[in-house]
Chains A and B, each alone.
Chain A
Amino acid sequence: MFETLLPLGFSHYLIGGLVIGIAVSLLFITTGLIGGMSTFFTSTLSLISDLPYFNQDKFVSSRNWRLVYSLGLITGALIWLFSVGESSQTSVTAWQLAVGGFIAGFGARMSNGCTSGHGICGIASLQVPSLLAVLIFLGTAMASAQLIQMLGGV
């Protein structure tokens, strides 16, 4: 049964998850900040847009650390690449990345959270709306991923 449910094993998943948890914990213990990712998009848009929505205090005041955090994600992945990782190019089609990315970006900002914001930080804060959000997005993601497969997507 193990091979059916986890054909690639589980240790890299577990270790990666623990490292992510330590990352979000370190951020909280040192600075008190909540490390979800999706707000980065909206706060960064305040750099290039005058629209009042993007220039609300909650976005402008968190803009700098979110940029540094995202830069950290990129360099962290680079460290992985030069230590234990190897580069790969996804075979998921450009239209899936473009259409799916647009819808995911829109939805995550409407919901004020994504896999990390609602999933990790929200549940860890014992927030019922976040738990519900996670159940909902897992449900719709499973449905759309399977529909795409039936339609011949990667």
Chain B
Amino acid sequence: MRILSLVCVLIAGNLFGFGLSYATMIKPEVVLSFLRFEDFGLLFVLGAATAVTLLTYQLAPKLMSKPLLEETFGKHPSEMNRDTLLGAAIFGLGWGICGVCPGPAIAGLGAGNWPLLIALFAMLLGAYVQGLIANRGLPDQDQKAYQE
């Protein structure tokens, strides 16, 4: 990937981290108050972010033959299967316990909300255990190709 592309990735990340912080989503208390029906503000965060992205994802590929710096527009790879739905249920269970999802866990570091480090490392550990289990389901040739 070109250096200029990575600069754009960094700037996009900056905006994302700033937006999460400005919207107070890096405060687990705010997320939990939404999940407990005490403050519906998070609907504005998710709604506004999704609306802007919807316009971009639907219009950009129609107006441009390719992205400004790379060759192809990506697609979000979501599949209708057991893992997608059961995984979502499990994710929600954890999100409701801690009030932290992956974006805020990472951005929280920059905002100095240090206890979020616990959630960040716990998520990494959760992703590791998920990988250990999913590894057993890989096709044999993938295992072999990797070992060779």
- A residues contacting B by CB (< 8 A) are 5-10, 12-38, 40-42, 44-45, 49, 51-56, 64-65, 68-81, 84-85, 87-92, 94, 96-130, 132-134, 136-149, 153-154
Q: State how many angstroms separate the Cβ of A98 from the closest Cβ of chain B.
A: 5
Q: Residue among A96, A102, A147 with the most chain B CB within 10 A?
A: A102
Closest to B79 in A: A129
With A23-B12, A103-B97 as contacts: A28 and B56 at CB distance below 8 Å: yes
Name 21 A/B residue pairs within 8 A (Cβ), A-sorted.
A13-B42, A17-B19, A21-B48, A30-B8, A37-B106, A52-B135, A65-B5, A77-B18, A77-B109, A92-B28, A94-B118, A97-B98, A99-B122, A103-B93, A111-B83, A119-B50, A124-B53, A130-B78, A141-B93, A141-B96, A144-B96
| Contact, CB under 8 Å: A80 / B29 | no
B102 and A41 within 8 A (CB): yes
Apart from A75-B10, A103-B91, A107-B87: 7 A-B pairs, beta carbons within 8 A: A23-B14, A76-B14, A103-B90, A104-B94, A132-B85, A145-B36, A146-B35
Cβ of B102 and Cβ of A78 under 8 Å apart?
no
Bound complex: CA A71 to CA B107 (Å): 9
Is B90 a contact of A106 with CB atoms below 8 Å?
A: yes
What CA separation (Å) do A8 and B137 show in the bound complex?
Answer: 47
* Contact (A141, B95) CB under 8 Å given A77-B110, A90-B29, A121-B76: yes
Q: How far is the CA of A102 from the CA of B14 in the complex (A)?
A: 26
Which chain B positions have C-beta within 8 A of A24?
Answer: 12, 16, 49, 52-53, 56
Identify A26's interface contact among B11, B102, B130, B135, CB under 8 A.
B11
Report yes or no: A32 in contact with B74, Cβ–Cβ below 8 A. yes
User: B98 contacts A110, CB within 8 Å?
Assistant: no
A33 with B74, Cβ < 8 A, contacts A72-B11, A104-B98 known: yes
- Determine which residue in B15, B94, B98 has the highest number of CB atoms from chain A within 10 A of its CB, and name it: B98
**Which B residues between 34 and 65 are near A, CB-CB below 8 angstroms?**
35-58, 60, 64
Q: Is the CB of A27 within 8 A of B9?
A: yes
Q: Of A45, A53, A77, which one neighbours B17 at CB under 8 angstroms?
A: A77
User: Given A34-B74, A74-B17, A106-B94 in contact, is the A10-B119 Cβ separation under 8 Å?
Assistant: no
Bound CA span A112–B131, Å: 11
Cross-chain contact B75 with A134 (CB below 8 angstroms): no
The residue from A38, A77, A98, A109 contacting B20, defined by CB atoms under 8 A apart: A77
